[in-house]
Structure 1
Amino acid sequence: MSSCSDSPMNTPTLESNVTSVSGTYSKSRTGSTDGSDEVVPKTEERELLLSEVKVESFAEEPPISPTEPVRIRRGRGRPRLYPPRSPTTSKATKARSKTGCTTCRKRKKKCDETKPFCLSCQKNNIHCEGYKPVEIWKSGKERAAEARRGSTDVKFELPPLMEGVENDIDRLLLQHFVSRASCVLSLHEDQSTNPFTKILLPMALRHEGLMHSVLCLSASHLCSINKSQEYEDRMAHHRGQALHLLNQDLERHKAGETGGIIYEDSNVAQILLHLLHSITDGNTSGEYRMHMIAAKKIAMTQKSKNPEFQSLFDEFFYYHWIASQVTSLDDAEVPMMDDFNLPFQVNPSTAALIGVSDGLFGFISKISNLRRRMRSRVDEGLEPIMDYEALLAAHAIDSGLRSWVCPQTPGTPRYTISMLYRQATWVYLYRTTKDSKPHPFIKSAVDDGIRYIKELPAEGWIQSNVLLPLFLIGCAAFEEDQRVEINRAFSGLMACTGLGNITYAKEVVDRIWALMDARDPDSWDWEKIIHANGWDFLAT
């Protein structure tokens, strides 16, 4: 009897081997006629082998006729206008430049980008609009932050507190006028007693035209110390505004049909400040004369109701009027009383200028009148130049100076500057009446004058009155050692005050020295030298 392994039911077939290799059995039961169950193996799909593929035969196509066109099947869609270029022959694409000039970009022309204007526009005779500014790229976050700052950082300018003081520069000019310029123009260092700050400044706070005049004078003084286009622009602005408002006031104040003008104190103050502006500015065209003429008319026709302002006006006007005779060929004589006093009184202790309050300018005016008389005799060829009347006038002036008593307290700077004016007045008289040659008398007088100058404080308010006596003594310095001291005094005066007219006064003195060394007899007549140069300025 055979074993179970030999039974046909247990003998593995080919199909069962193939199936066992590729997977496991999956049994299903089917019904049979005899009621027995038969196990049917389930096969899975496998990959198709190349050897099992049968070659399908195709019918042979007829050969293509050479006379028939070849039909090429094109792809669907819009036909190409040009065949595509091969990658090897195609040109590299270039991005369009956005840095050309505005004109070329509008015309859609190539720009050579020459700065500041391109050559393409110039060759085609076209106006080149230039280039747009380069904009720095900013992210959206940065742009939003700028927008927020622009909306929150809104600043409103405060309106001016005082009429005429319009910006920060004007406020600086006002401060300079109070702290420096007012001290240069007066003998008062203390602002509480300085007439410019005590009298004129409160008037300027109530009058716009006077405030413009104050700022113009301050800007002029700053420019003489340190040249600045910014200060020059403000000076021109305030000067134009001041003159415009002054003319408006004068038109409004015309009295009746005669056309006479009644000047208010603020307008008179403006005239004085414009007169002083010609000094600080160093003007040599005689600009001060029109202001001097107006001030002279005011002095002769009207008086102020304010006694302090009237005293200030009298002193400043007569000081500059008499001093102008020292450097000009004007034939008009200043009216003087027989006792050499001015037709008004100024308290020496409160005087802003030396020479007027103490009576010395009465002597200077007489000497100027004597010089005009002698110059006329020289021009007409009359002999002798010193006639009998001139000799009597010179003797009277000399006697008056010897009997003059200084009203200032000895040992003070005011006393020293008064004695300096007395010394310079005598030198002025000597150079008018004596020959232009060295002499022991004039040498001694100049040496004493230099000693007075050296005794004065080198800085401060006292230097504001030094220029006129320094000029007169300098025009009589025959000795070389004297000229060294005069040069040192001029340099110190310029550094201290910064007045623009000092430079021209020094040039005249240098010219006089050259004539002295050449033994020129006309070296006494510096007025002619100034006139020959086309200059007209105040040595104050």
Structure 2
Amino acid sequence: MPPDRRVQRIVRVRTGCLTCRRRKKKCDETRPICAGCQRNDLACQWPPDVPGKRDPSHEHETQASATDQCRPNIFDAIEQLDGMSMPRSPLSQRAPSVSSSAGHSVIIGDHFEDTTLQEEPDNQRRLSTATGATTTSDTLVASVSMGNVLPRSLSLLPGYDAESYQLLSHYLATTADCMANGSTPINPFLVQIVPLAFSSDLLLQLVITQSAAHRAFRSRDESDTIAHSHYTKALQHFRRGVTDFIDGKESNPLMLLVGALLMCFTETAKGDMNGTIFDHLSAANSLLVKLLAQSDSAVPRDLKDFVIEYYTYTATVSMISIDARFSGQLLLNLDLEQRSRELLRTQYVGNLCGCWLELLLLIPCIFDLGRQWIMDDTQAVIPTADDIAMFASIQAQILRWSPYPNVGTEVRLAGLIFQEAILVYLYTSLGGFQYTSDGMYKGMVENAVTEAMSYLGELSPSARINSGLCWPIAVVGSCLLNPDKQDCLRRRLNAMTETFGLGNMHRTLLLLEAMWQSPASKAGPWNICRAMQQNQIWISFA
């Protein structure tokens, strides 16, 4: 199609804003921001000339300038896919059932017109830095994009509509950054997950779903029909994948495992309170065991390390939500724990566990130690010599731990916060659910809580490392009895929620608010599961 005809077809109205002209939408001409741009959160641009007297050459320059400023982040990411490590799998061939769904739109109601891919330039630069990407050339943008609308003829994802492209752009620019804590300059949610997503319809749908859930919570729209539609579609894809795996149609559990982990963090993003994440975590456990039983050469080393870290982090920080009186489920068997300890020998630093993986691996040990003392909380139990020895051994490992010398200041502070929180978890384990004023560990608990609050005070609530601090905040917050300290933690969680837009941060505050209304005897981390039962707030702190 000749270039001049393309420009003539885009400009449908002569009196509206330039943005509506490029989008081929009717403009209500409200200045300075028209209703269409306001509804879709777009930059509303107006021509400098008098309405109705259009200068074609000037308007062409304005459109070209706007296109150059608002390049879709998706192109920067796609351009780099050839340079990324993309594991091959039988699932890399697209399923016919998904391809045949082309043309079926999941866009509902007024959201249909929200089809542009638009990101701020600073987000684009951040994505390019995180992925090692270079800026897309002007020639490439001009050849595949006109007015920021992705042409269907060049679609790399048949079966996905314009809304899906926008959600993918949101994931690349925002969601992936919020999921990772920034401990390393390389974000695995980009360099590991994105290549896999482009080789599997299941993972691509899950990435889009996670982005939709994150965007919906950031806008505080719990009735977001697009997010609900993608969530339903993701569950259907996942069930189909599980069925194929059980029936033997697929032997490689990698894609399904990563899918289960992505579903876990989708619940994190949307702030689910029904405990759905534990179902996904259970599925991930079985799939990870099967994956590790395969040859180490079947999956790239970096990807396998990330998957092990992903599961270990999610499993360990979720255990505090389990009522130890009725369940001994550790979520981390000895083989998985050994695989995680192999990472420690390389001084592994990850975007989920930072430099404190060694501390996380002590959580199941403390859970198992404390479980036997709360099975029957109606009578006092005297610890045996073996119990005391185990307690002392765990305490020595926690106190001996220190952050790696090569990590940044924020990572070091986060590690120290985890250290103090795990000490609190240990010190309250032998006391069961009781937090009495004359408890033998009262002074030790209060000292650890004070230290943790001090480290939190040194860390800005907007720092990326906060995305992984819900667990220590919940543990420390459950012991706070002073209203001023409670208010300090309340402000922090509110600031974190506004910055990251992750639902689990808001749900953590809801749970703590409920605990702060209870008497002091109901305080402490071993009471968290009881507070969940009483208030019907079933969450993970991942």
User: Do the aligned partners of residues 384 and 251 (structure 1) sit closer, same or farther apart at CA in structure 2, a change above 3 Å counting?
Assistant: closer
Work out the CA distance in 1 between the residues paired with 2:339 and 2:481. 32
SS at match of 1:325: helix
SS at match of 1:302: helix
Asked if the contact 1:446–1:476 (Cα under 8 Å) also holds between the matched residues in 2, the reply is: yes
User: Do the aligned partners of residues 165 and 374 (structure 1) sit closer, same or farther apart at CA in structure 2, a change above 3 Å counting?
Assistant: farther
> Residue 204 of structure 2 is aligned with which of 188, 195, 211?
211
Work out the CA distance in 2 between the residues paired with 1:213 and 1:389. 46
1:84-233 matches, within 5 Å, as 158-159=152-153, 161-163=155-157, 166-188=160-182, 193-228=186-221, 232-233=224-225
Corresponding position: 1:431 with 2:420: no
User: Do the aligned partners of residues 384 and 521 (structure 1) sit closer, same or farther apart at CA in structure 2, a change above 3 Å counting?
Assistant: farther
Corresponding position: 1:308 with 2:302: yes
Q: What residue in structure 2 maps to residue 246 of structure 1?
A: 238
Superposed displacement of residue 228, structure 1: 4.0
- Tell me the TM-score normalised to structure 2 length: 0.63
1:426-505 matches, within 5 Å, as 426-434=423-431, 435-438=434-437, 439-505=442-508
Q: What residue in structure 1 maps to residue 64 of structure 2?
A: none
User: Do the aligned partners of residues 326 and 254 (structure 1) sit closer, same or farther apart at CA in structure 2, a change above 3 Å counting?
Assistant: closer
- Tell me the TM-score normalised to structure 1 length: 0.63
1:532 partner amino acid:
Q
Q: What residue in structure 2 maps to residue 106 of structure 1?
A: none
Q: What residue in structure 2 maps to residue 526 of structure 1?
A: 528
Asked if the contact 1:436–1:523 (Cα under 8 Å) also holds between the matched residues in 2, the reply is: no
Asked if the contact 2:167–2:211 (Cα under 8 Å) also holds between the matched residues in 1, the reply is: yes
Superposed displacement of residue 350, structure 1: 4.2
Work out the CA distance in 1 between the residues paired with 2:154 and 2:235. 21
User: Do the aligned partners of residues 164 and 320 (structure 1) sit closer, same or farther apart at CA in structure 2, a change above 3 Å counting?
Assistant: farther
Alpha-carbon RMSD across the aligned residues, in angstroms, is 3.1
Q: What residue in structure 1 maps to residue 273 of structure 2?
A: 284
Asked if the contact 2:355–2:411 (Cα under 8 Å) also holds between the matched residues in 1, the reply is: no
User: Do the aligned partners of residues 240 and 526 (structure 1) sit closer, same or farther apart at CA in structure 2, a change above 3 Å counting?
Assistant: closer
Asked if the contact 2:425–2:525 (Cα under 8 Å) also holds between the matched residues in 1, the reply is: no
User: Do the aligned partners of residues 206 and 432 (structure 1) sit closer, same or farther apart at CA in structure 2, a change above 3 Å counting?
Assistant: same
Corresponding position: 1:511 with 2:514: yes
Q: Could you report, residue by residue, the CA deviation over 1:302-327 in whole angstroms, capped at 9, with x for unpaired residues?
A: 23522222111111111111111111
SS at match of 2:428: helix
Asked if the contact 2:253–2:291 (Cα under 8 Å) also holds between the matched residues in 1, the reply is: no
User: Do the aligned partners of residues 341 and 225 (structure 1) sit closer, same or farther apart at CA in structure 2, a change above 3 Å counting?
Assistant: same
1:526 partner amino acid:
I
Work out the CA distance in 2 between the residues paired with 1:253 and 1:520. 45
Superposed displacement of residue 360, structure 1: 0.4
Asked if the contact 1:188–1:461 (Cα under 8 Å) also holds between the matched residues in 2, the reply is: yes
Superposed displacement of residue 472, structure 1: 0.7
Asked if the contact 1:436–1:524 (Cα under 8 Å) also holds between the matched residues in 2, the reply is: no
Task: Report the identity percentage.
Answer: 16
Asked if the contact 1:353–1:465 (Cα under 8 Å) also holds between the matched residues in 2, the reply is: yes
Q: What residue in structure 2 maps to residue 82 of structure 1?
A: none
> Residue 324 of structure 1 is aligned with which of 318, 324, 349?
318
Superposed displacement of residue 277, structure 1: 0.9
Asked if the contact 2:178–2:464 (Cα under 8 Å) also holds between the matched residues in 1, the reply is: yes
Asked if the contact 2:497–2:505 (Cα under 8 Å) also holds between the matched residues in 1, the reply is: yes
Work out the CA distance in 2 between the residues paired with 1:339 and 1:162. 40
Work out the CA distance in 1 between the residues paired with 2:407 and 2:199. 41
Superposed displacement of residue 338, structure 1: 13
User: Do the aligned partners of residues 166 and 453 (structure 1) sit closer, same or farther apart at CA in structure 2, a change above 3 Å counting?
Assistant: same
Work out the CA distance in 1 between the residues paired with 2:397 and 2:527. 24
SS at match of 1:501: helix
SS at match of 2:209: helix
2:164 partner amino acid:
D
Superposed displacement of residue 391, structure 1: 2.8
User: Do the aligned partners of residues 276 and 339 (structure 1) sit closer, same or farther apart at CA in structure 2, a change above 3 Å counting?
Assistant: closer
2:424 partner amino acid:
V
Work out the CA distance in 1 between the residues paired with 2:192 and 2:424. 36
SS at match of 2:181: coil
SS at match of 1:331: coil
Instruction: Count matched residues.
Output: 378
Corresponding position: 1:393 with 2:390: yes
Q: Any stretches of 5+ residues in structure 1 without a counterpart?
A: 1-154
Asked if the contact 2:435–2:523 (Cα under 8 Å) also holds between the matched residues in 1, the reply is: yes
1:309 partner amino acid:
L
